[in-house]
Amino acid sequence: MARLAKYIGDPEILVKEIHRNPSRSIWKLLIVIALGTLIFVSYLWFYVSVLGLDLPKTAILKRQNAVWNTRIDQMSQQLDRYDNLLSLLEVRDDRIYRSVYGMDEIPSAVRQAGFGGENRYADLEGTSLLKVSRRLDVLEKRAYIQTRSFDEITHLQFTAGDMAKHIPAIPPINTDRSTYRMSSPFGWRADPLFGYNKRHTGMDFACPPGNPIYATGDGVVVKVATERKGYGWHVEIDHGFGYKTRYAHMSRIDVVMGQTVSRGDCIGLTGRSGRVSGPHLHYEVHYRKDYVNPALYMDLDISPEDYAAMVRKPEK
């Protein structure tokens, strides 16, 4: 203390005063601060680099991050289960429910589509939540589409009782064998005009012009055409539930576009319009936009009397 103080005598009061040097005190304080900082930095270096331990704040953040990663893993496992359950529903919906009612399958691209927008996940880039958020959005949309599909099926169930009347289940002309001849069945055959092998998409009933043609099921007329080539004069009926029928090479058409017809209604007369080698009725059945064998939907052995009882005679 003697070196840091200066004593000055005051003759008036005969007392010595001690005057300290302030600059030396400041330097002492700075040295203490510098030594303390050096010790603290050295401790941190030894704690992190030598012992390999985390700083307290870093350790807390790592623990929190581990907890969130565990939760995200649990969410991913739940999403896997929901994904599998939804996939089973989608397969059953397409192959059973929609198929029964003649509805087209929902394309996979539609079911699996996500949400648009480039910046939708911008805030999550580089985080583990990005993948989970995308999966949640896709599952949400798939669930919505599946719900809409079930709504459509539920609506069709109310009309399912009429389904039997809509399926094209009778021959398009009278079954009296003296009035027609089966000239060409469904399947591959030699083209009658050009001779090359070609798939025949319907059944041909060879008969004189003027034989009545009957709607084979309830439905709505969706096409009436009077072409000079191809099918010639022809009519198409949409029966619903995935079924359509086509009646071609007619000589007279007795229905109009949009008209509702019932099974057994006369829709016109046979002829030889369009591309034909002789007078006949070309009859097709379409199921879910594909050609199917009409013979699978009719009984040509039914008696002419029973057939006549099911149909209405054409107006003259």
- Which pLDDT belongs to residue 154? 81
Range from 62-71, 100-109, 115-124, 246-255 that averages highest in pLDDT: 246-255
Cβ contacts of residue 126 below 8 Å, gap of 6+?
none
**Whole-number Å distance between alpha carbons of 89 and 247:** 38
**Whole-number Å distance between alpha carbons of 82 and 135:** 11
Angle at 303 between CA 164 and CA 249, to 5 degrees: 70
Question: Thinking of the domain 165-310, which architecture would CATH place it in?
Answer: Distorted Sandwich (2.70)
- Which pLDDT belongs to residue 40? 72
pTM above 0.75, yes or no: no
**Whole-number Å distance between alpha carbons of 202 and 128:** 58
103: how many CB neighbours lie within 10 A of its CB?
Answer: 18
The tens digit of pLDDT for each residue in 149-195 reads 888 888 777 766 678 889 999 999 999 999 999 999 998 876 666 66
- Which pLDDT belongs to residue 2? 46
Query: Where do the structural domains in the chain lie, given as residue ranges?
Result: 5-50, 73-158, 165-310
Over residues 5-24, the mean pLDDT reads 56
Q: Which two structure tokens, joined as six digits, stand for 80?
A: 């896997």
Angle at 128 between CA 83 and CA 85, to 5 degrees: 5
More confident residue, 133 or 273: 273
9 has a pLDDT exceeding 60: no
229 has a pLDDT exceeding 50: yes
The tens digit of pLDDT for each residue in 110-139 reads 887 766 655 777 777 777 788 888 888 888
